[in-house]
């Protein structure tokens, strides 16, 4: 049947078993039209009632005015929908379609076959189902539906894709340009999105499905991303909100924070760092250490609730809090206001610099670090083990029992306080440049054999001080505590040393080049003590070996117990020998002496 009328042709009722139907003019449709072959409407079509068209192929060249009626299409070949389709109630198509123009429905649009774009296309209505995807042919598709839009199958070669309403995603969507989802997106299957740029303004509900992103421009991830299985992004991303995965999160491009961001899942890889733009970042991954590569800069606060691997520098404007283990995979500098390391640090032979203006709190074990530098105040606890040096440039506080093991020098450039035990074991030089225990005395202080200790100011402990290393003074020093052991002597370097211990002070080896030496408590002497000034021993002295004392003046207020050892004295001024000198082997004095008490030698 071929129709060609200058006025509108009214097609009502049932048209059945036609081979082909063509109309050159405008038509109104109402009812059912079935052809064995093609249907061609070259004029405008308007619906006067709900209409069903079926056959082999359909061409609606000038669109359809729906008049609030529904249109159902069922053609075995591709259906061409061109022009404007407006004011339809519902539109359904069982076969493949080509789209070009605008289709607006008051209700649903359902495309059960494959859809291909012949031109830029806009679809609007209540709900949309594109069950078999869209072949874009380098054209754009705009969607605006009040209910959730179902995007299933393959969407390929689109120019741009935009959706104003909520969507469900399943399959692959590829655009030559942008993808914009202004509503909430939910995954109904594993989904891959690729193109030039992406905006997911209201996040994604993952429904335990995976999402892969590959965009050449920056991908905007805003809102809440929850219940994803895995998330992969190949390009740069902006982050704002919370992203939660049941599995991994992988960001191979640079990440920029547009708001405070929380990342939660099993594993994390940030391959090219984070630009914080003064926003905060929280990490919580339970399946393995989160990998932090690239530069991390301008973050407000960084909080790692789980293990992390750090390969590059991290800079925050405020604090960095590492609640679990930190592993270094490169030389790292951490900078900010304050740093907290409560889960320990594994260095992997790399250098670590803590550059915080506030407190650097190391409250668990640190092992395998090469060189450790702390530029600001430090709070120390646990075992800190480095193969290289340790340098604490500012004030340090002991907040727990602390053992420092180092393969090179250990330097405390500021004050050191805290009612805790400190042991320093290094073959290099241990330097205490500032006052130790001035505000809060240490419980005890010890160094091992094999290195050198430099003392620049007073050292106060409530318990013992034991220096297994040779000691050198770099400032006038007063040592105060319960007991003292100088196991490898002392180099005075022209400085004075005052000893004030409640228990016995053990002076072993050579004490040389002191200005003045004084001791308020009992001492044991073994070796040589040389001062350019005075030596004053206000309590008892016991010899543990042959001993030689020399200097300007000597005062032994409570005598000497020789314990079978010899004592040699050489002072330029008069030597005052008061009290009991007993059990000496030999006693010799080069200078003048005053005697008061008893002196017994064997």
For the chain, the structural domain boundaries read: 349-456+463-475, 483-602
Nearest to 282 by CA among 228, 321, 248: 321
What single-letter DSSP state applies at residue 436? B
90-116 average pLDDT score: 94
Q: b/e string for 542-561 if b means 16 or more Cβ within 10 A? A: bbeebbbbbbebbebeebbb
pLDDT band for position 276 (50/70/90)?
A: very high
pLDDT of residue 131: 80
For 596, the token pair is: 């008061």
Q: Tell me if 80 sits within 8 A of 39, measured CB to CB.
A: no
Q: For residues 291 and 324, give the distance between their C-alpha atoms in angstroms, rounded to a whole number.
A: 14
pLDDT greater than 90 at residue 153: no
Q: Tell me if 270 sits within 8 A of 252, measured CB to CB.
A: no
Q: Which residue has the tokens 């800069």?
A: 297
pLDDT greater than 90 at residue 150: no
Nearest to 410 by CA among 422, 433, 398, 428: 428
For 155, the token pair is: 């969407």
Q: For residues 191 and 228, give the distance between their C-alpha atoms in angstroms, rounded to a whole number.
A: 11
Number of C-beta neighbours around residue 137 at 10 A: 15
Annotate 466-477 with DSSP letters as a single string. EE-SEEEESS-E
pLDDT of residue 132: 85
Nearest to 444 by CA among 469, 423, 468: 423
Q: For residues 430 and 424, give the distance between their C-alpha atoms in angstroms, rounded to a whole number.
A: 8
pLDDT greater than 90 at residue 358: yes
Q: b/e string for 346-370 if b means 16 or more Cβ within 10 A? A: bbeebbbbbbbeebbbbbbbbbebb
For 479, the token pair is: 């040592």
Give CA 155 to chain center in angstroms: 36
Residues listed for the chain: 602
pLDDT greater than 90 at residue 220: no
pLDDT of residue 490: 94
Tell me what the pLDDT averaged over the chain comes to. Answer: 95
pLDDT of residue 140: 98
Encode pLDDT of 21-42 as tens digits: 999 999 999 999 999 999 999 9
Q: For residues 325 and 434, give the distance between their C-alpha atoms in angstroms, rounded to a whole number.
A: 31
Q: For residues 1 and 21, give the distance between their C-alpha atoms in angstroms, rounded to a whole number.
A: 5
Q: For residues 245 and 231, give the distance between their C-alpha atoms in angstroms, rounded to a whole number.
A: 7
Q: For residues 581 and 456, give the distance between their C-alpha atoms in angstroms, rounded to a whole number.
A: 35
- Return all residues near 244 (Cβ < 8 A) that are at least 6 apart: 206, 224, 225, 226, 227, 228, 264, 265
3-class secondary-structure state, position 434: coil
pLDDT greater than 90 at residue 202: no
Give CA 273 to chain center in angstroms: 10
3-class secondary-structure state, position 340: strand
Nearest to 524 by CA among 551, 486, 488: 486
Q: For residues 556 and 535, give the distance between their C-alpha atoms in angstroms, rounded to a whole number.
A: 8
pLDDT greater than 90 at residue 323: yes
Strand-pairing partners, residue 384, are 366, 404
482-491 average pLDDT score: 92
Between 31-35, 131-135, 175-179, 467-471, the lowest mean confidence (pLDDT) is in 131-135
Rg (CA), the chain: 43
3-class secondary-structure state, position 62: coil
Q: b/e string for 158-184 if b means 16 or more Cβ within 10 A? A: bbbbbbbbbbbbbbbbbbbebbbbbbb
Strand-pairing partners, residue 175, are 158
Encode pLDDT of 155-176 as tens digits: 999 999 999 999 999 999 999 9
pLDDT greater than 90 at residue 496: yes
Nearest to 412 by CA among 429, 432, 382: 432
Number of C-beta neighbours around residue 497 at 10 A: 23
Annotate 373-400 with DSSP letters as a single string. EE-S-EEEEEEEEESS-EEE-S-EEEEE
For 385, the token pair is: 């083990």
Annotate 520-568 with DSSP letters as a single string. SS-EEEEEEEEESSEEEE-S-EEEEEEEEEEESEEEETT-EE-TT--EE
pTM of the model: 0.85
Q: For residues 385 and 265, give the distance between their C-alpha atoms in angstroms, rounded to a whole number.
A: 31
Q: For residues 108 and 125, give the distance between their C-alpha atoms in angstroms, rounded to a whole number.
A: 6
496-506 average pLDDT score: 96
pLDDT band for position 487 (50/70/90)?
A: confident
Nearest to 280 by CA among 308, 304, 261: 261
Residue 2 burial by CB count (10 A; 0-12/13-18/19+): exposed, middle or buried?
A: exposed
What single-letter DSSP state applies at residue 408? S
pLDDT greater than 90 at residue 364: no
Q: For residues 163 and 146, give the distance between their C-alpha atoms in angstroms, rounded to a whole number.
A: 10
């Amino acid at each position: 049947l071929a129709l060609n009328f200058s006025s509108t042709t009214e097609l009502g009722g049932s048209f059945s078993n036609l081979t082909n139907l063509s109309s050159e003019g405008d038509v109104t449709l109402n009812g059912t039209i079935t052809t064995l072959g093609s249907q061609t409407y070259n004029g405008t079509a308007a619906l006067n009632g709900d209409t069903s068209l079926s056959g082999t192929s359909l061409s609606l060249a000038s669109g359809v005015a729906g008049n609030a009626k529904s249109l159902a299409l069922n053609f075995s070949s591709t259906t061409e929908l061109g022009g404007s389709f407006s004011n339809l109630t519902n539109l359904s198509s069982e076969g493949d379609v080509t789209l070009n123009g605008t289709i607006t429905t008051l209700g649903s649009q359902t495309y059960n076959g494959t859809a291909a774009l012949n031109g830029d296309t806009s679809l609007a209505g209540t709900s949309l189902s594109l069950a078999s995807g869209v072949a874009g042919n380098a054209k754009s598709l705009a969607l605006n539906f009040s209910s959730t839009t179902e995007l299933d199958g393959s969407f390929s070669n689109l120019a741009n894709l935009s959706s104003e309403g909520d969507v469900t995603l399943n399959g692959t969507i590829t655009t030559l340009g942008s993808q914009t989802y202004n509503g909430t997106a939910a995954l109904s299957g594993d989904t891959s999105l690729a193109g030039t740029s992406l905006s997911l303004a209201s996040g994604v509900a993952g429904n335990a499905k995976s999402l892969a992103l590959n965009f050449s421009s920056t991908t905007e991830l805003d809102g809440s991303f929850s219940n994803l299985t895995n998330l992969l992004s190949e390009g740069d991303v902006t982050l704002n909100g919370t992203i939660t995965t049941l599995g991994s999160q992988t960001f191979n491009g640079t990440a920029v924070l547009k708001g405070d961001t929380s990342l939660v899942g099993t594993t994390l890889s940030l391959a090219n760092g984070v630009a914080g733009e003064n926003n905060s970042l929280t990490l919580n991954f339970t399946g393995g250490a989160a990998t932090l590569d690239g530069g991390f800069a301008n973050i407000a606060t960084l909080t790692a609730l789980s293990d992390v691997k750090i390969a590059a520098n991290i800079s925050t404007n405020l604090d960095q809090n590492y609640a679990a283990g930190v592993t270094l995979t490169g030389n790292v500098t951490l900078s900010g206001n304050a740093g907290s390391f409560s889960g320990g640090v594994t260095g992997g032979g790399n250098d670590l610099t803590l550059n915080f203006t506030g407190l650097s709190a190391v409250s668990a074990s640190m092992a395998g670090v090469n060189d450790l530098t702390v530029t600001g105040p430090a709070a120390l606890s646990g075992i800190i083990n480095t193969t290289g040096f340790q340098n604490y440039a500012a004030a340090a506080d002991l907040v727990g029992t602390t053992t420092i093991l180092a393969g090179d020098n250990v330097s405390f450039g500021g004050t050191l306080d805290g009612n805790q035990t400190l042991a320093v074991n290094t073959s290099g030089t241990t330097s205490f440049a500032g006052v130790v225990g001035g505000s809060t005395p240490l419980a005890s202080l010890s160094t091992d054999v094999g290195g050198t200790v430099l003392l620049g100011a007073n050292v106060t402990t409530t318990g013992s001080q034991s220096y297994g290393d040779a000691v050198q003074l770099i400032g006038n020093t007063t040592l105060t505590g319960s007991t003292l052991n100088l196991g490898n002597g002392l180099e005075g370097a022209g400085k004075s040393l005052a000893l004030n211990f409640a228990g016995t002070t053990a002076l072993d080896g050579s004490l040389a080049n002191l200005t003045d030496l004084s001791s308020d408590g009992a001492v044991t002497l073994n070796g040589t003590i040389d001062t350019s000034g005075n030596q004053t021993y206000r309590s008892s002295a016991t010899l543990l070996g042959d001993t030689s004392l020399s200097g300007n003046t000597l005062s032994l207020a409570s005598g000497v117990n020789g314990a079978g050892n010899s004592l040699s004295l050489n002072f330029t001024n008069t030597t005052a020998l008061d009290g009991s000198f007993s059990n000496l082997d030999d006693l010799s004095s080069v200078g003048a002496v005053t005697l008061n008490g008893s002196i017994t030698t064997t």
